[in-house]
């Protein structure tokens, strides 16, 4: 069976888009083939900087013939309907249709439409232009003279040629006859831009790949990666080094070359005095080169890295950052060129060395200037500059913000077991590196440079570490710090941000969250839970609000402290629900725990009573365990039954059965017993909740269960005696009220 | 290149590099313009690019543009960073199909032999928030060094480019350092001469770098600059309003209005360098300049140059 070979040859495709584009091309073409009844045997797609290529094997030469019965209007239908049917079925007159009967529809016309299968190449000539026209590039562009016409082709970069051949392996394939925006498909392509720029004619995939290889193009990105990685490792090893592997960089670099040539360069040894992260960032971000380190010492002789702080905090040991405990970086780098130079790469290496030298000199200049500045100028003097930098036009200057964070961190510190003075110092210092040259150049080094500079100027280690860690956790996968000083500053920073933007009514809406407030709130939730911190969110919000209140400047809406607090707690609740759900907790249980004591204002907006994240989580856990027991399940069933009855009766009677039931109206022993049991259980549960023993609170509730069951067994609620009936409904309502101290059972599914 | 006298060779002379590029693009058919006589942050701000990129008329031009980036000043102490430097700017509208080859040939014309060097097109989507402009293209790398930017303009001043222009921007100092094999811009041979006839880049610009760095970071009068920003913004609006004919079909003062937009942009850069504009305020200033640029673009499209007759 015939194969398809397709190549779209363009100007340089961004590296980060290539893998996805190859996959999209494969899927788009093969999906359409299958839709057209052309089931293929296999398909593989490739990408290089200048081409997307697709090979589809084993496509039938023709579509299968299709026979289809097409139902038409009933006999005697209006003429317009009949004409429409003839047109759609391709019949010349109604005489060509047959008539069928149906018990419901009566007599109606049926056309037998025979659709002979078309040659696959014709189908391809229709499919391929559509794929090209609708290709989902993340960003595409117009170019050249045609760009002013409407309907001009958009592609990731200018598309130069299309190669599309179709035919069985044993024969010279045909060119798929189509054109897109003036580019006609053919069987020509080009080799490497510099090493083999001439036109190549290709027939089948094997021929194509082989000719490309001869023309210095490695088509398969996986092979390019492999070549780069192997050559880089060998090159490093041969010189006594070890490659610092970097899969993301490897992927990118493989997308920048068609013919990878790995070379090694050197930089001045003196630069190694820079922090390894700085060297690596400089070389990686700007130059897309790899760094290398000394080969690790033989097994057993290497001292194990010791973290200087608590287990959660302190230095990360992982990652090829050349951090503590790993062999230091060497003054070498590995570059991947896209050409075989006439001088064996000497000029290329020299050029790259020159650029890296300049980049590292820049970094060194920043580093030394920054350090000198930190040593020579007292912190408070340095921070003066923040007085001129507005954090947000309504929320005062950076200086004011730092002062707020400082006070808040100091107030939070005792709750976290942190030294208040250290927290205060760390908060004061935490943003100072934003004023440094290094962070100005590499914003991604913010925090990290603060740590280095703080250490170098003799700050306490926990203070230095907090400079880096107070930004954390940045994303959902980021590490949560455990160093109490870091946690204090991290919380203070995030609370200040959230409360500030809430107060000036800049809350996130829909997909818009320009100040990353969702991330800040989720960060707080994770900090609190992972460090098992007891914190009343409302109190902290009030504290932060008090701080920020004096810095808010008009004009515009300002939310009151009450509105800010309640709304923000709701926002935290949403984040908590999402987080716990991701961790596998039951959504309904989280809500049941969260809503204990909640009040409702208009449109079902809850005002939460629960604002201690850790307690909410413990409650969810206890609730989950309880509901796994028979007692729990039955109590829930009893609860549901009671509330259903009340709801129905309340709706019917248009009243609420809330007040206390009256003992004089009890007629049966089960009523007395249930009432007594509720009193006992409620009292026990409240006491248990008060001492935060949720398991005990659940056990207290479990004791209700036989009484609820007995009540439903023996007592009829809807009796003819209206006062007795009302009293029974009130009694049932007491179940709801009593369970409410433990969880909002109405939110539990099942 | 071989027939050039030594002092004109791009690998020996900074001005020789400029002349070689001018010659190459003049041979291609470009109009060789002189720099715009205002302070701009990049060659793109020149009306020969910003405004000419809009509208249907073909336009091929090349020019050197002194570019001011107040924030990049380093008192002349940093080998690679200046607050004033030169860009060589080429704009070809519509973008010709062989633009990449034209560009690579221009590198050959200044002595970069592809047999020895690693030339690469690395993704770099260009966006100028202040100009409301964006395009797709690359940084062009020679042995790991970015020597040019290559952009297909898609939108300028908020308007679709129809047709699309191709823009090439060569960072002249960096390119010259590479060609001359020196590590510091100040060490560039400016006039290509030797001995006591030799004029270095430092002889021409070191004092200016020192003085302007002082000015940009320490002394530029911020009260005055804030006021000047407001004045330029108001003037731009005023000229734009005054330039429309009664039917709003033709505009008669797009260019003078655009000058005020350029001015506002440069003043903003100075304020930014003085560090008196916060991250959040920054955005609002950028938007204010962009609004001006957009209005100027709209006006330009209603002039003869913009295709309205």
- Chain A residue numbers touching B163 (CB-CB < 8 A): 144-148
Strand partners for A57:
A42
Rounded (10°) CA dihedral B53, B58, B61, B65: -10
Provide, rounded to the nearest whole percent, the portion of chain A with pLDDT above 90. 59
H or E segment and range at residue A98: strand A98-102
- Is the pLDDT score of A325 beyond 60? no
Task: Verify whether the Cβ–Cβ distance A16 to B121 is below 8 Å.
Answer: no
Q: Does A684 touch chain B (CB under 8 A)?
A: no
- Is the pLDDT score of A310 beyond 70? no
Domain A3-61+119-214 of CATH type 3.30.70:
yes
- ipTM computed for the complex: 0.94
Cα(A526)–Cα(A497) distance, integer angstroms: 16
Cα(B124)–Cα(A16) distance, integer angstroms: 12
Distance from CA of A331 to the nearest CA of B (A): 17
Confidence of residue A552 (pLDDT cuts 50, 70, 90): confident
**Other Cβ atoms closer than 10 A to A495:** 28
- The reported pLDDT for the residue numbered A518 is 93
With CA atoms as reference, report the closest residue to A281 among A327, A244, A326, A255.
A244
Confidence of residue A306 (pLDDT cuts 50, 70, 90): very low
Residue B181 zone, left/alpha/beta (φ > 0; ψ -120 to 50; rest): left
Structure tokens at A747: 């939110």
Cα(B16)–Cα(B4) distance, integer angstroms: 9
Cα(A202)–Cα(A211) distance, integer angstroms: 7
- The reported pLDDT for the residue numbered A560 is 87
- Chain A residue numbers touching B80 (CB-CB < 8 A): 358, 362
Q: Which of A143-147, A350-354, A360-364, A466-470 comes out lowest in average pLDDT?
A: A360-364
Q: Which of A409-423, A544-558, A639-653 comes out lowest in average pLDDT?
A: A544-558
If DSSP states are collapsed to H, E and C, what string results for B120-178?
EEEECCEEECCCCEEEEEEEEEECCEEEEEEEEEEEECCEECCCCCEEEEEEHHHHHHH
Interface test with B, best of A20, A143, A435 (most B CBs within 10 A): A143
Distance from CA of B98 to the nearest CA of A (A): 10
H or E segment and range at residue B65: strand B59-68
Cα(A513)–Cα(A486) distance, integer angstroms: 25
With CA atoms as reference, report the closest residue to B165 among B182, B150, B187.
B150
With CA atoms as reference, report the closest residue to B280 among A468, A500, A492.
A500
Structure tokens at A51: 């081409």
Task: Verify whether the Cβ–Cβ distance A337 to B142 is below 8 Å.
Answer: no
Task: Verify whether the Cβ–Cβ distance B117 to A347 is below 8 Å.
Answer: yes
Structural domains of chain B ordered from first start? 6-215 (3.30.930.10), 221-300 (1.20.58.180)
- The reported pLDDT for the residue numbered A321 is 39
Q: Which of A230-239, A388-397, A697-706, B113-122 comes out lowest in average pLDDT?
A: A388-397
**Backbone phi, psi, residue B234, to 5°:** -65, -40
- Chain A residue numbers touching B97 (CB-CB < 8 A): 144, 158, 160
Mean pLDDT of chain A: 89
- Chain B residue numbers touching A157 (CB-CB < 8 A): 136-137, 152
Of A146, A158, A337, the CB nearest to B118: A337
Q: Does A48 touch chain B (CB under 8 A)?
A: no
**What average pLDDT does the segment B192-196 reach?**
95
- The reported pLDDT for the residue numbered B54 is 97
Task: Name which residue leads in pLDDT, B163 or A653.
Answer: B163
**Highest mean pLDDT pick, A634-648, A663-677, B186-200:** B186-200
Q: Label residue A524 exposed, middle or buried (CB < 10 Å: 0-12, 13-18, 19+).
A: buried
- The reported pLDDT for the residue numbered A102 is 80
3-state class of A151 per DSSP? coil
With CA atoms as reference, report the closest residue to A426 among A331, A493, A360.
A493
Over residues A369-408, the pLDDT tens digits come to: 899 999 999 888 889 888 888 888 788 889 999 999 999 9
- The reported pLDDT for the residue numbered A602 is 66
CB contacts < 8 Å between A and B, how many? 138
Q: Which of A380-389, A408-417, B152-161 comes out lowest in average pLDDT?
A: A380-389
SS3 content of chain B, % helix, strand, coil (to 5): 45, 20, 35
- Chain B residue numbers touching A361 (CB-CB < 8 A): 79
- The reported pLDDT for the residue numbered A313 is 36
**What average pLDDT does the segment A406-423 reach?**
94
Please check whether residue A109 is in contact with residue A97, taking contact to mean a CB–CB distance below 8 angstroms: yes
Distance, first Cα to last Cα, chain B: 44
If DSSP states are collapsed to H, E and C, what string results for A281-299?
HHHHHHHCCEEEEECCCCC
Mean pLDDT of chain B: 95
With CA atoms as reference, report the closest residue to B168 among B147, B146, B151.
B151
With CA atoms as reference, report the closest residue to A545 among A524, A523, A567, A529.
A567
Place of tokens 């969260």: A594
- Is the pLDDT score of A286 beyond 60? yes
Cα(A282)–Cα(A264) distance, integer angstroms: 16
- The reported pLDDT for the residue numbered A514 is 86
Q: Is the peptide bond before A731 cis (omega within 30 degrees of 0)?
A: no
Confidence of residue A302 (pLDDT cuts 50, 70, 90): very low
Over residues A119-137, the pLDDT tens digits come to: 999 999 999 999 999 999 9
Cα(A453)–Cα(A353) distance, integer angstroms: 28
Q: Does A18 touch chain B (CB under 8 A)?
A: no
**Backbone phi, psi, residue A176, to 5°:** -70, 120
- Chain A residue numbers touching B137 (CB-CB < 8 A): 157
- Chain B residue numbers touching A14 (CB-CB < 8 A): 123
Over residues B222-252, the pLDDT tens digits come to: 999 999 999 999 999 999 999 999 999 999 9
Interface test with A, best of B98, B136, B186, B284 (most A CBs within 10 A): B136
3-state class of B99 per DSSP? helix
Distance from CA of B119 to the nearest CA of A (A): 8
- The reported pLDDT for the residue numbered A320 is 37
Cα(B224)–Cα(B231) distance, integer angstroms: 10
**What average pLDDT does the segment A586-601 reach?**
86
- Is the pLDDT score of B253 beyond 90? yes
Counting Cα atoms < 13 Å in the Cβ hemisphere of A356 gives: 33
Q: Which of A422-426, A546-550, B50-54, B159-163 comes out lowest in average pLDDT?
A: A546-550
Of A141, A145, A339, the CB nearest to B163: A145
3-state class of A48 per DSSP? strand
Of B78, B123, B164, the CB nearest to A365: B78
Of B183, B278, B279, the CB nearest to A354: B183
H or E segment and range at residue A180: strand A179-180
- Is the pLDDT score of A298 beyond 70? no
Cα(A528)–Cα(A481) distance, integer angstroms: 10
Interface test with A, best of B133, B144, B282 (most A CBs within 10 A): B144
Provide, rounded to the nearest whole percent, the portion of chain A with pLDDT above 70. 96
**What average pLDDT does the segment A203-212 reach?**
96
Task: Verify whether the Cβ–Cβ distance A393 to B280 is below 8 Å.
Answer: yes
DSSP conformational letter for B306: T
Strand partners for A550:
none
Q: Does A147 touch chain B (CB under 8 A)?
A: yes
R_g of chain A computed on alpha carbons: 36
- Cα A127 to Cα A4, A13, A57, A132, A133: the distances in Å are 12, 23, 16, 9, 10
Of A142, A145, A339, the CB nearest to B118: A339
Confidence of residue A558 (pLDDT cuts 50, 70, 90): confident
- The reported pLDDT for the residue numbered A604 is 66
- The reported pLDDT for the residue numbered A98 is 85
Cα(A605)–Cα(A574) distance, integer angstroms: 12
Over residues A735-745, the pLDDT tens digits come to: 888 888 889 88
H or E segment and range at residue A619: helix A613-627
Over residues B120-151, the pLDDT tens digits come to: 999 998 999 889 999 999 999 999 999 999 99
- The reported pLDDT for the residue numbered B280 is 64
With CA atoms as reference, report the closest residue to A50 among A17, A75, A28.
A17
Confidence of residue A410 (pLDDT cuts 50, 70, 90): very high
Q: Is the peptide bond before B94 cis (omega within 30 degrees of 0)?
A: yes
**Please, which residues 516-555 of chain A have a Cβ atom closer than 8 Å to chain B?**
none
Structure tokens at A149: 């016409």
Q: Determine the residue of chain B that is closest to A515 in CA distance.
A: B280
Q: Determine the residue of chain B that is closest to A396 in CA distance.
A: B278
- The reported pLDDT for the residue numbered B243 is 96
**Cα Dmax for chain B:** 65
Over residues A235-285, the pLDDT tens digits come to: 999 999 999 999 999 999 999 999 999 999 999 999 999 999 999 999 998
Q: Sign (positive/negative) of CA torsion A180, A183, A185, A188?
A: negative
**Please, which residues 319-358 of chain A have a Cβ atom closer than 8 Å to chain B?**
335, 337-339, 341-343, 347-348, 350-352, 354-358
- Is the pLDDT score of A700 beyond 70? yes
Class of CATH domain A629-747:
mainly alpha
- The reported pLDDT for the residue numbered B189 is 98
Provide, rounded to the nearest whole percent, the portion of chain B with pLDDT above 70. 99
Task: Verify whether the Cβ–Cβ distance B97 to A289 is below 8 Å.
Answer: no
Strands A183-186 and A599-600: unpaired
With CA atoms as reference, report the closest residue to A711 among A690, A735, A743, A739.
A735
Residues in Cβ contact with B19 at an 8 Å cutoff, skipping those fewer than 6 apart: B8
**What average pLDDT does the segment A22-43 reach?**
96
Q: Which of A30-44, A178-192, A312-326, B139-153 comes out lowest in average pLDDT?
A: A312-326
**What average pLDDT does the segment A78-89 reach?**
86
- Chain A residue numbers touching B100 (CB-CB < 8 A): 11
Over residues A596-649, the pLDDT tens digits come to: 888 877 666 788 888 899 999 999 999 999 999 988 888 888 888 888 888 888
Q: Where are the domains of chain A?
A: 3-61+119-214, 66-115, 221-297+313-374, 383-621, 629-747
Cα(A417)–Cα(A39) distance, integer angstroms: 67
Strands A159-167 and A183-186: parallel
Structure tokens at A37: 């009844």
Counting Cα atoms < 13 Å in the Cβ hemisphere of A480 gives: 17
Task: Verify whether the Cβ–Cβ distance A139 to B120 is below 8 Å.
Answer: no
Q: Does A157 touch chain B (CB under 8 A)?
A: yes
Strands A3-10 and A51-57: antiparallel
Over residues A463-522, the pLDDT tens digits come to: 999 999 999 998 888 899 999 999 999 999 999 999 999 999 888 988 888 888 999 999
- Chain B residue numbers touching A140 (CB-CB < 8 A): 136
């Amino acid at each position: 069976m015939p194969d398809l070979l397709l190549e779209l040859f363009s100007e340089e495709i961004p590296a980060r888009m290539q893998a996805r584009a190859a996959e999209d091309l494969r899927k788009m073409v093969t999906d359409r083939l299958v839709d057209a009844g052309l089931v293929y045997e296999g398909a593989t797609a490739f990408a290089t900087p200048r081409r997307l290529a697709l090979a589809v094997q084993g496509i039938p030469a023709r579509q299968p013939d299709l026979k289809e019965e097409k139902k038409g209007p009933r006999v005697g239908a209006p003429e317009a309907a009949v004409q429409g049917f003839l047109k759609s079925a391709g019949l010349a007159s109604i005489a060509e249709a047959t008539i069928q009967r149906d018990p419901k529809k009566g007599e109606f016309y049926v056309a037998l439409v025979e659709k002979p299968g078309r040659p696959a190449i014709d189908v391809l000539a229709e499919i391929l232009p559509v794929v090209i026209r609708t290709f989902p590039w993340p960003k595409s562009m117009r170019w050249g003279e045609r760009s002013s016409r409407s309907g001009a082709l958009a592609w990731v970069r200018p598309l130069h040629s299309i190669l599309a051949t179709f035919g069985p392996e044993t024969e010279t394939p045909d060119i798929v006859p189509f054109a897109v925006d003036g580019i006609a498909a053919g069987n020509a392509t080009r080799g490497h831009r510099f090493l083999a720029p001439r036109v190549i004619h290709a027939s089948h995939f094997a021929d194509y790949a082989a000719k490309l290889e001869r023309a210095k193009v490695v088509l398969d990105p996986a092979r390019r990666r492999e070549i780069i990685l192997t050559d880089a490792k060998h090159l490093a090893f041969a010189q006594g080094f070890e490659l610092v592997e970097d899969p993301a960089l490897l992927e990118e670099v493989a997308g920048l070359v068609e013919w990878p040539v790995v070379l090694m360069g050197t930089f001045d040894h003196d630069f190694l005095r820079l922090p390894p992260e700085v060297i690596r960032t400089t070389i990686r971000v700007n130059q897309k080169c790899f760094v290398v380190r000394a080969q690790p010492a033989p097994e057993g002789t290497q001292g194990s890295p010791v973290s200087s702080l608590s287990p959660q905090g302190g230095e990360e040991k992982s990652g090829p950052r050349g951090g503590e405990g790993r062999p230091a970086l060497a003054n070498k780098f590995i570059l991947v060129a896209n050409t075989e130079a006439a001088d064996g790469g000497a000029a290329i290496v020299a050029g790259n060395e020159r650029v890296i030298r300049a980049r590292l000199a820049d970094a060194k200049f920043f580093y030394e200037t920054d350090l000198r500045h930190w040593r020579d100028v007292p912190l408070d003097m340095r921070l003066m500059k923040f007085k001129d930098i507005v954090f947000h036009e309504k929320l005062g200057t950076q200086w004011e913000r730092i002062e707020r964070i400082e006070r808040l961190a100091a107030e939070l510190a005792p709750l976290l077991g942190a030294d208040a003075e250290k927290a205060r110092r760390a908060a004061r210092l935490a943003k100072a590196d934003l004023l440094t040259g290094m962070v100005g150049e590499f914003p991604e080094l913010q925090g990290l440079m603060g740590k280095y500079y703080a250490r170098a100027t003799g700050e306490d280690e926990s203070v230095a570490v907090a400079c880096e860690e107070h930004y954390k956790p940045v994303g959902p996968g980021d590490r949560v710090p455990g160093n109490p000083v870091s946690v204090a500053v991290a919380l203070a920073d995030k609370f200040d941000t959230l409360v500030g933007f809430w107060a000036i009514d800049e809350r996130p809406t829909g997909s818009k969250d320009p100040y990353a407030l969702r991330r800040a709130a989720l960060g707080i939730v994770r900090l609190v839970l992972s460090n098992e911190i007891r914190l009343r969110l409302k109190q902290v919000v009030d504290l932060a609000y008090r701080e920020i209140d004096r810095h808010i400047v008009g004009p515009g809406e300002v939310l009151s402290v009450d509105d800010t607090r309640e709304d923000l707690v709701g926002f935290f609740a949403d984040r908590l629900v999402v987080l716990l759900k991701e961790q596998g907790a039951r959504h309904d249980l989280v809500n049941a725990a969260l809503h204990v004591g909640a009040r409702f204002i208009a449109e079902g907006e809850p005002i939460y009573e629960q604002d201690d994240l850790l307690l909410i989580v413990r409650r969810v856990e206890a609730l989950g365990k309880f509901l796994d027991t028979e007692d729990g399940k039955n109590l829930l069933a009893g609860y549901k039954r009671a509330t259903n009855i009340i709801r129905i009766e309340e709706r019917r009677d248009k009243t609420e059965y809330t007040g206390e039931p009256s003992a004089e109206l009890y007629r049966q022993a089960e009523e007395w017993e249930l009432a007594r049991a509720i009193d006992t259980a409620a009292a026990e549960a409240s006491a248990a909740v008060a001492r935060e023993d949720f398991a005990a609170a659940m056990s207290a509730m479990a004791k209700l269960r036989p009484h609820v069951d007995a009540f439903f067994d023996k007592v009829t609620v809807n009796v003819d005696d209206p006062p007795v009936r009302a009293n029974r409904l009130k009694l049932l309502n007491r179940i709801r009220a009593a369970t409410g101290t433990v969880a909002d059972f109405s939110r539990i599914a099942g | 290149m071989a027939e050039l006298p030594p002092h004109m060779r791009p690998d020996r002379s900074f001005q020789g590099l400029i002349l070689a590029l001018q010659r190459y693009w003049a041979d291609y058919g470009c109009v060789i313009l002189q720099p715009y006589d205002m302070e701009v942050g990049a060659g793109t701000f020149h009306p020969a690019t910003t405004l000419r990129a809009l509208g249907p008329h073909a336009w091929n031009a090349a020019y050197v543009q002194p570019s001011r980036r107040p924030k990049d000043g380093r008192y002349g102490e940093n080998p690679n960073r200046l607050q004033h430097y030169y860009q060589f700017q080429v704009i070809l509208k519509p973008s010709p199909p062989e633009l990449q080859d034209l560009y690579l040939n221009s590198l050959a014309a200044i002595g970069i032999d592809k047999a020895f060097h690693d030339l690469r097109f690395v993704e770099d989507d260009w966006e100028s928030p202040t100009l409301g402009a964006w395009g797709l293209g690359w940084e062009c790398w020679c042995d790991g060094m970015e020597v040019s930017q290559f952009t297909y303009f898609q939108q300028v001043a908020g308007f679709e480019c129809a047709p699309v222009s191709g823009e090439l921007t060569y960072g002249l100092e960096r390119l010259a350092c590479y060609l001359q094999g020196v590590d510091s811009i100040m060490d560039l041979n400016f006039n290509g001469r030797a001995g006591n006839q030799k004029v270095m880049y430092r002889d021409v610009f070191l004092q200016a770098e020192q003085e302007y760095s002082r000015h940009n970071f320490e002394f530029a009068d911020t009260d005055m600059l804030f006021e000047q920003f407001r004045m330029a913004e108001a003037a731009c609006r005023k000229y734009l309003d005054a330039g429309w004919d009664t039917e709003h079909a033709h505009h008669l003062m797009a260019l003078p209005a655009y000058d005020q937009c350029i001015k506002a942009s440069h003043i903003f850069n100075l304020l930014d360098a003085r560090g008196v504009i916060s991250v959040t305020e920054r955005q609002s200033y950028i938007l204010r300049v962009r609004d001006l640029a957009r209005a100027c673009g709209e006006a330009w499209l209603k002039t003869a140059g913009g295709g309205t007759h």
